[in-house]
Amino acid sequence: MEFYFPTELGEQLAFCSAAFTALAGFIMMFAPGHTFRLLGLQAQEGRPEGFGEGRSMGGFYLGFGLSAIMLAQTTIYMALGASFAMAAFARIVSILSDKGSNLVNYLLLVVQIALAALPLLYVFGFIQT
């Protein structure tokens, strides 16, 4: 079995979105403390469940990203893009409802929109070459 890297630009962008997702998941899984600090969160002392949840979330991102890379199917890329689109929508709701209007939320919103757009533009045929 050999490593598959896409030849079309659209699929390469979707692949990059999946690779970034897997990398972020790897970091979240193995460095939840750093991830929590970056996001402005903290686990309660004496309660390891917070780190467990962070690692679990990282494992999900890692697994989803690696699945998209290894399977390289348009339906998987669509699921990846749709998931990030819903995450971006949830972040917008949070910004508007939870008084979460700060720089970190806006930066993460831009990242989530980009991670949603790259695979969805490929899947729906807007980027071909």
How many whole angstroms separate alpha carbon 33 and alpha carbon 1? 36
**Tell me, what DSSP letter sits at residue 43?**
P
Cα–Cα dist 27/62, whole Å: 9
Q: Could you give the dihedral angle defined by the CA atoms of residues 44, 38, 114 and 117, in that order, rounded to the nearest 10 degrees?
A: -10
> So where are the chain's domains?
9-124
Q: What is the mean pLDDT of the chain?
A: 92
* Per-residue pLDDT, 128: 74
- Across the range 71-100, mean pLDDT stands at 95
Query: For the chain, where are the alpha helices, taking DSSP H only?
Result: 9-30, 32-39, 49-71, 74-97, 103-123
Are residues 64 and 83 in contact, defined by beta-carbon separation less than 8 angstroms?
yes
Over residues 61-83, the pLDDT tens digits come to 999 999 999 999 999 999 999 99
CA-wise closest residue to 62 among 38, 35, 27: 27
Asked if the model's pLDDT at residue 1 lies above 90, the reply is no
DSSP state of 3: -
